[in-house]
Amino acid sequence: MTDYRDHYDVAVIGAGPAGTAAALRAAELGASVVVLEAERVGGTCVNTGCVPTRVLAKTARLIRETRNADVYGVEVAAPTIDWATTVARVRQRVDRVRSIKREAERFAEAGIHLIHEGRARFADDSTLVLDSGRRITASSILICVGGHSRRLPIPGAELATVPEHVLDLPSLPRRVAVIGAGNTGAQLVTVFSSFGSEVTVLDLAPRVLMPSDPSVSEAVASAFVAQRIDVRTGIDGVDSLARASDGGITLTWREAGAARSSEFDAVIMATGWPADVEDLGLEKAGVEVVRSAIPADAYFRTAVPHIFAVGDANGRDMLVQAAQFEGEAAAENAVLGANRRTPHHLLPAGGFTDPDYAGVGLTEPEARERDITCVVATVQFSAVDRAVIDDRETGFLKLIADPRRELILGAHAVGENAIEVIQSVTTAMAAGVDVSTLANVRFAYPTYSAVIGMAARALLRQAPPA
Ligand SMILES: Cc1cc2nc3c(=O)[nH]c(=O)nc-3n(C[C@H](O)[C@H](O)[C@H](O)COP(=O)(O)OP(=O)(O)OC[C@H]3O[C@@H](n4cnc5c(N)ncnc54)[C@H](O)[C@@H]3O)c2cc1C
Ligand SMILES: NC(=O)c1ccc[n+]([C@@H]2O[C@H](COP(=O)([O-])OP(=O)(O)OC[C@H]3O[C@@H](n4cnc5c(N)ncnc54)[C@H](O)[C@@H]3O)[C@@H](O)[C@H]2O)c1
């Protein structure tokens, strides 16, 4: 039986990517560490986020490829989705990924106590109380609680499905509305459209994937329209959901000053990701919440210096790769009293729509705001042999560099393997590779990453700014 203590050097609330990385690093530095997890270890990413979404994206890819197989002389019957099997496959892959991550075993091997006794809440700035009643005190507390989806505060919101519960839909919906065209919503749009559902996507923002480079938003939205997805961006607001007489859901929204409504079998609300702070008792610890997240400084310290907010909880870069390096840095700052920061400008990210998209670094508007003379080159996938060979000509890579072409400031891609292409550019950026070195790298033939060399050479060909 585990011999739990009353006091630890470090208490970590949440065993997602942030909490796991933080706890392992703190233990490596010699701290006594406890991890308090209310649900399954692994957090959003593996249980309800990235991993299930990626399995759905693979399923979507399979059905699209099967539909086109006859072009290659492969004769197959028109494919359809067996929803129960699709859901079972997602769950099976999630379990398999969980089995290789082995968080609980790694904690045990590192001497970390993992306590599963419900949710943790602050009683004061050094004391946490679990649902079971157990009290834990710690010299440093790392809040790694992640977030949860947001239901709009409108009548009938309870009829909507939030992204974490998409797999609980009883059957594949014929008509789907996705509210919110961020990373989560856009990917679900592609999944359901590929599965054969009629999809409408609505967003208050003027374009899909609003934080991405505008060229990415434009390309993904054009592809959606070509796939007969009803794209409604820049709407004035969503008003209500109501049960329709046929058992469906009537969604009412305002657009261009007029009220509109339509019926759907499922309405998915992918409208944001507030931190999971509602019942955390933060006020008892003197920690504030601003715009649904816990403000933290560059070293992840909250206003209370021995309490840190890490990963999705601080609302900064809600990505696994950010959560992990923030967790490690925060652990070092907590245990060693260090001031370690993290390289947030080098965070590649993307999603599996049709076509895929990805980006790293500054968008073109951000780069131009800093220096209007920055140089930009875009190479279309239709000029890349491998993309033509594979019939994947839709897409591009955009590279942005400083006027002297010494630094790559950003890279944005749409198309097949966009994320892998962007990852290679990220490696070059992390290594401080200048554009002429990148232009001279040899790329294997025929590859998608060859587009990187082409874009680098295109950047060099541009006239220097006057
Ligand atoms: C649909 C979807 C797809 C995504 N796809 C990607 C992707 O492809 N790539 C990517 O980089 N990111 C993706 N993300 C984002 C990614 O999942 C998050 O950025 C990441 O999981 C954040 O890690 P975290 O440790 O901060 O929080 P979480 O992973 O959310 O973990 C928080 C943990 O804290 C626990 N907890 C919360 N409150 C308490 C409490 N009071 N007491 C005890 N335990 C508590 C929770 O149970 C949970 O296990 C996706 C997100 C979603 C929703
Ligand atoms: N592949 C990935 O890397 C990945 C995947 C999913 C999520 N994430 C991350 O998780 C976080 C949450 O992502 P998300 O997509 O769930 O949320 P988000 O906040 O990024 O996007 C929510 C979208 O909903 C829209 N919206 C909000 N209120 C609305 C309303 N009333 N009516 C219509 N539209 C409305 C917003 O304009 C926005 O476009 C983000 O930081 C994201 O980067 C990453």
- Kindly list the structural domains of the chain, giving each domain's residue range(s) and its CATH number in brackets, ordered by start: 7-50+88-148+274-336 (3.50.50.60), 157-269 (3.50.50.60), 355-461 (3.30.390.30)
CB neighbourhood size of 381 (10 A) = 25
- Bind-site residues for FAD: 312
d(CA 118, CA 394): 48
How confident is the model at residue 2, as a pLDDT?
67
Sign of the dihedral defined by the CA atoms of residues 340, 341, 346, 350, in that order = positive
Q: What is the pLDDT of residues 200-212, one digit of tens each?
A: 999 999 999 999 9
Is the pLDDT assigned to residue 283 strictly greater than 90? yes
CB neighbourhood size of 104 (10 A) = 18
How confident is the model at residue 462, as a pLDDT?
87
- Which of the 8 DSSP states describes residue 138? E
- H or E stretch at 401: strand 396-401
Is the pLDDT assigned to residue 1 strictly greater than 70? no
How confident is the model at residue 344, as a pLDDT?
81
Average pLDDT over residues 161-172: 97
The answer for residues whose C-beta is within 8 angstroms of residue 260's C-beta and 6 or more apart is 252, 253, 254
How confident is the model at residue 4, as a pLDDT?
78
Q: What is the pLDDT of residues 241-250, one digit of tens each?
A: 999 998 999 9
- The reply to whether ligand 2 has any atom less than 6 angstroms from the CB of 180 is yes
- The reply to whether ligand 2 has any atom less than 6 angstroms from the CB of 152 is yes
Where does the pLDDT of residue 6 fall: very low under 50, low under 70, confident under 90, or very high at 90 and above?
confident
Average pLDDT over residues 12-40: 98
Residue with CA at minimum distance from ligand 1 atom 21:
45
Is the pLDDT assigned to residue 463 strictly greater than 90? no
Q: What is the pLDDT of residues 64-82, one digit of tens each?
A: 999 999 999 999 999 999 9
- The reply to whether ligand 2 has any atom less than 6 angstroms from the CB of 81 is no
**DSSP output for 43-86:** HHHHHTSHHHHHHHHHHHHHHHHHHTGGGGT---PPP---HHHH
Where does the pLDDT of residue 3 fall: very low under 50, low under 70, confident under 90, or very high at 90 and above?
confident
35-68 burial code (b ≥16 CB/10 A, e <16): bbbbebbbbbbbbbbbbbbbbbbebbbebbeeee
Phi and psi based region of residue 377 (left: phi greater than 0; alpha: psi -120 to 50; beta: remaining):
beta
Contact 10, 142 (CB under 8 A): yes
Three-state secondary-structure class, residue 207: coil
d(CA 432, CA 83): 47
How confident is the model at residue 466, as a pLDDT?
63
Instruction: Kindly report the length of the chain.
Output: 466
Q: What ipTM does the predicted assembly reach?
A: 0.98
Centre of ligand 2 to C-alpha 179, Å, is: 9
Q: Report which of 335, 334, 278 is spatially closest to residue 308, judged by C-alpha positions.
A: 334
How confident is the model at residue 239, as a pLDDT?
98
- The reply to whether ligand 2 has any atom less than 6 angstroms from the CB of 346 is no
Sign of the dihedral defined by the CA atoms of residues 366, 374, 219, 357, in that order = negative
How confident is the model at residue 133, as a pLDDT?
96
Q: What pTM does this model have?
A: 0.96
Residue with CA at minimum distance from ligand 1 atom 34:
14
Centre of ligand 1 to C-alpha 27, Å, is: 22
Helix extents (H) in 236-372: 282-285, 320-336, 364-370
Is the pLDDT assigned to residue 42 strictly greater than 70? yes
Three-state secondary-structure class, residue 348: coil
Ligand with minimal distance to 210 CA: 2
Side-chain-side CA neighbours of 451 within 13 Å: the count stands at 35
- The reply to whether ligand 2 has any atom less than 6 angstroms from the CB of 17 is no
Where does the pLDDT of residue 465 fall: very low under 50, low under 70, confident under 90, or very high at 90 and above?
low
List, in sequence order, every residue forming a beta bridge with 152; answer none if it has no partner: none
Ligand with minimal distance to 90 CA: 1
**Do you find a cis peptide bond into 446, omega within 30 degrees of 0?**
yes
- The reply to whether ligand 2 has any atom less than 6 angstroms from the CB of 203 is yes
Residue with CA at minimum distance from ligand 1 atom 8:
50
Q: Which among 20, 24, 36, 44 is the best mutation to test ligand 1's pocket, defined by most ligand atoms within 8 Å of the CB?
A: 44
Sign of the dihedral defined by the CA atoms of residues 158, 161, 164, 166, in that order = positive
Q: What is the mean pLDDT of the chain?
A: 96
- Bind-site residues for NAD(+): 272
Q: Report which of 108, 234, 252, 107 is spatially closest to residue 181, judged by C-alpha positions.
A: 234
Q: What is the pLDDT of residues 77-136, one digit of tens each?
A: 999 999 999 999 999 999 999 999 999 999 999 999 999 999 999 999 999 999 999 999
d(CA 116, CA 38): 6
